[in-house]
Structure 1
């Protein structure tokens, strides 16, 4: 059984090598060091292509149109990057989220192409840590053959997030436009059930990596504080989902958030912390690899990217 699984996985990996040569998707990378031995790289899973109303539809129409124009943002399309955070130290190779995999949308699910470019094999990943269980973050745990893509990894997820998606009533209560999210999440959770570990808010899940609640985008969404001595980075997942509105108007409700009011409170809390502590952040959908800093400007905030 294991021999068959590895053979299939090798076939898929070799196939993505060829795809990577002709792919039009951006292989965005940004990198930073954390202490003497830890290295953090953002690797691309492609990008999403969504109707802008999915994000901006619940916001004040005239104000958001003026805001997007002022920020030179095309209001006719929404194509955010998907940045998977890769953390490596002397002992661990850790992915924060697994990308979308082959079944979500054609512009995403490019992680294996990126792995080939940087010379990393899925078998070398020791841990996969989830911010939440939306499709572009968890569907990538399975390959084209429905085998586990990271067979040697422990998969870590917040207990609250797991319980929400595992609950059989979620598919009936999440709303018609998200039923596929619920069914898809449950199938992936079932696949990793034998290799999963749970954590709570504030828990150190690995040496120097602590969970930080940022509920609202999903009921159990988590950010992660990575720290080495005086140096720190916050992996924010989708709690800060774009580089403009989420920072300048964190109170505006996003259509991608399952509980917009709770998500807005989480944005304020994260923005206050990272700006006050001058902490770098890594955002799954922030531009140019997603790494940057946050500057407070009066009652608002500003994202300052640090693409390398």
Structure 2
């Protein structure tokens, strides 16, 4: 479910990476290093009883190229009132600000909003706005305002917990202090919703150890990427990535000590 895309300064992502190796790797992928415009993909899961969104996009107040989820939803047979559950990977603007519509009302009024306990506690803490850094202070203010709006419809979960039948939480801390991925299993089939733990289709896979400027704890995020990639490739799981290309759906191949994202055709 497309929420549009972001337009970010490349330095924000790549600034701490070794410049020459980075240039060669991006050249190999034919990436234009003068811009960074990742897709925003909200995952929709449906079964006989539930219609579940993983994250809700950016809404109308973050960036003009994003906040398109409602338009995408209108192309389906679902209305916002039909969404029974929203499950959050984390509380950055492009993932949670979309809980409110143009009138600051809840966009998914009938949904239970599921939040990892660590992530909620971090953004709810009044000291976060003063400690997160000036460039992200607005993230903290915006997250808290939307958490207050959904407070009466929140259910908390912890690492390893089954949130709904077949959907289990998987700690993937680093991008934010409580970032979560989710394993969806049905019979022999399995999918990992990775959120922003794997934030691009090239560096994150070939050099998961490199630190990204979008991660709040780059060292923890690098460790998370390595663990996730090892599990996903070993178990031959499909993945859905919020910022991966062509809808974000694909699989992971291990190539020596590196990995490769293979998008679904």
Establish whether TM, by shorter chain, passes 0.5: yes
Q: 2:167 aligns with which of 200, 209, 216?
A: 209
How many residues were matched structurally?
265
Answer yes or no: is 1:83 the counterpart of 2:41.
yes
Question: For the residues of structure 1 that align with 2:59 and 2:202, how far apart are their CA atoms?
Answer: 27
Structure 1 unmatched ranges of 5 or more: 1-42
The structural deviation recorded for 1:120 is: 1.9
Query: Per-residue CA shift, 1:249-295, capped at 9, x if unaligned?
Result: 00000000000000000000000000000000000000000000000
State the SS of the aligned residue for 1:301.
Answer: strand
State the SS of the aligned residue for 2:212.
Answer: coil
Question: For the residues of structure 2 that align with 1:173 and 1:105, how far apart are their CA atoms?
Answer: 24
Q: 2:64 aligns with which of 100, 106, 109?
A: 106
Q: 1:239 aligns with which of 193, 197, 204?
A: 197
Query: Per-residue CA shift, 1:35-85, capped at 9, x if unaligned?
Result: xxxxxxxx1000000111111111111111111111100100000000000
Q: Which residue of 2 aligns with 1:193?
A: 151
The structural deviation recorded for 1:245 is: 0.2
Q: Which residue of 1 aligns with 2:176?
A: 218
Answer yes or no: is 1:267 the counterpart of 2:225.
yes
Answer yes or no: is 1:294 the counterpart of 2:252.
yes
Structure 2 unmatched ranges of 5 or more: none
Q: 1:117 aligns with which of 70, 75, 96?
A: 75
Q: Which residue of 1 aligns with 2:24?
A: 66
State the SS of the aligned residue for 1:139.
Answer: helix
Question: For the residues of structure 2 that align with 1:53 and 1:266, how far apart are their CA atoms?
Answer: 22
Answer yes or no: is 1:182 the counterpart of 2:140.
yes
**Runs ≥4 residues deviating over 2 A:** none
Q: Which residue of 2 aligns with 1:9?
A: none
The structural deviation recorded for 1:119 is: 3.1
CA RMSD in angstroms comes to 0.5
Q: Which residue of 1 aligns with 2:4?
A: 46
Question: For the residues of structure 1 that align with 2:184 and 2:72, how far apart are their CA atoms?
Answer: 23
State the SS of the aligned residue for 1:117.
Answer: coil
The alignment's TM-score, normalised by the length of structure 2, stands at 0.99
Question: For the residues of structure 2 that align with 1:117 and 1:154, how far apart are their CA atoms?
Answer: 23
Answer yes or no: is 1:126 the counterpart of 2:91.
no
Q: Which residue of 2 aligns with 1:171?
A: 129
